[in-house]
Amino acid sequence: MLVERFLKYVSFDTESDPSSETIPSTSKQKLLAEYLVKELHDLKVDNAHMDEYGYVYAHIKGNNPDADTVGFIAHMDTSFDFSGKDVKTRIIEDYDGLDIKLNDDLTTSVEVFPFLSNLKGQSLIVTDGTTLLGADDKAGIAEIMTLVEYLMTSDAARGDISICFTPDEEIGRGADMFDYKKFNADYAYTLDGGPVGSIEFENFNAASADVHVSGISIHPGDSKDKMVNAILIAMEFNSLLDATARPEHTESYEGFYHLHDMSGDVSNTEMNYIIRDHDSQAFAFKKNQIVKARDFINNKYQAELVKVDVKDSYYNMASFFTDQMHIIELAREAITAQGFDPVSLPIRGGTDGARLTYEGLLTPNLGTGGYNYHGPHEFAVIEEMQASVEIIKNIVKIIGER
Ligand SMILES: [Zn+2]
């Protein structure tokens, strides 16, 4: 049922929209939410429901009152980077580990994605290359639903279990309307991407910096000693930031300043940066450099030409786990029991789990068996999805037997 479920979920177009002000950002996400509620009701999870914001909640009663309540979370929306409408899937059985021709114009090649050769012999779900697949994060939803189906017919020892499917994760709002009280779990796991066996609990500290430069526009023919060109001042501002600390020059634990948008003219120029760093001190340093660059320019020109607005977006969740490593160890045990090596790499991004963790619901992320997210090369590995279901079953079992 896992694969059938997954294929059904990806048939829903659930793209979220960062420019929308509504919650959820696109109402079509509610169509999948309603479908999931119905499916949960069919599985006899009568309390399952969708709230006014499109979040789906469900609770499964345990039979061991001493056991922790564990939560499982996945998101329903897909990335706005690429269309997720009319997804046409194809299953490649016994994959040969070579290039995958998606259509006449597009091939997922081993040269670009060398890890493909490790997947030889497995079964892959790919698209026709005109859409993303939506394994991010419908693989996570299908895996959690398959766990629910198993739990509803099993009387093995377990604690209470909380389930939530969230909208708008891809636009960074998945945790905005999350109801912690209703969810009511001791800790949780997001199932959101990456190879099976991965446990992620380190992510970036993140901030945005909006920089506004005011200039003085005068006819260029008689502007001597009068014109202040905001575009050139903006370029000067940017040149004060460490050029080696850019996304295209950094990896692993290295942080960056990323100028992602710039527009303007002689009078007014606007630059939008994001700032990222795993280390909180290096993060604070980077934010301070933005302020120092502002002061440097304003001093140099003896005028308040540059204004900056630096805002924190989210924080690294790693520090919250230092005295709560049992949550990570539990997942490692569940993964090892399934014959996989647990792997933890720092996330070079954020997750809803980081927000939830910051609010007190500790939530690392587990791999789902999906790859190449947010574009037409996205695919899922069926055997890894199946293993992922077994891993979350193991988590429930380990907790239930304590
Ligand atoms: Zn995701």
Please report the pLDDT score of residue 313 as a whole number: 86
Please report the pLDDT score of residue 165 as a whole number: 98
CA of 262 to the centre of ligand 1 (A): 27
CA of 138 to the centre of ligand 1 (A): 9
Is position 192 annotated as part of the catalytic site? no
- Specify burial of residue 334 (Cβ count, 10 A radius: 0-12, 13-18, 19+): buried
∠ at Cα 374 (86, 19), nearest 5°?
A: 85
Does 401 score more than 90 pLDDT? yes
Residues flanking ion ligand 1, Cβ below 5 Å: 136-137, 192
| Strands 306-314 vs 205-214: parallel, antiparallel or unpaired | antiparallel
Cα–Cα distance for residue pair 395/34, rounded to 1 Å: 27
CA of 87 to the centre of ligand 1 (A): 17
Does 402 score more than 90 pLDDT? no
Does 193 score more than 90 pLDDT? no
Share of the chain above pLDDT 90, in %: 97
- Tens digit of each residue's pLDDT (9 = 90 or more) over 142-168: 999 999 999 999 999 999 999 999 999
Please report the pLDDT score of residue 349 as a whole number: 80
Please report the pLDDT score of residue 35 as a whole number: 98
CA of 351 to the centre of ligand 1 (A): 8
- Tens digit of each residue's pLDDT (9 = 90 or more) over 68-97: 999 999 999 999 999 999 999 999 999 999
Of 39, 168, 169, 236, which is the active-site residue? 169
- Mean pLDDT of the chain, nearest integer: 96
Class of domain 205-314: alpha beta
- Tens digit of each residue's pLDDT (9 = 90 or more) over 218-270: 999 999 999 999 999 999 999 999 999 999 999 999 999 999 999 999 999 99
Task: Output the DSSP codes for 25-71.
Answer: SSTTHHHHHHHHHHHHHHTT-TT-EE-TTS-EEEEE--S-TTSPPEE
Domain ranges of the chain: 2-202+317-400, 205-314
- Tens digit of each residue's pLDDT (9 = 90 or more) over 362-390: 999 999 999 999 999 999 999 999 999 99
The fold for domain 2-202+317-400 equals Aminopeptidase (3.40.630)
Question: How far apart are the two ends of the chain, measured CA to CA in Å?
Answer: 30
Of 77, 149, 192, 202, which is the active-site residue? 77
CA of 348 to the centre of ligand 1 (A): 13
Does 350 score more than 80 pLDDT? no
pTM score, whole prediction: 0.88
- Tens digit of each residue's pLDDT (9 = 90 or more) over 296-312: 999 999 999 999 999 99
CA of 124 to the centre of ligand 1 (A): 19
| Band (194; pLDDT cuts 50, 70, 90) | confident
Is position 169 annotated as part of the catalytic site? yes
Please report the pLDDT score of residue 352 as a whole number: 86
Q: Which residue has the tokens 């963790």?
A: 357
AA letter at 174 = G
CA of 305 to the centre of ligand 1 (A): 40
CA of 17 to the centre of ligand 1 (A): 15
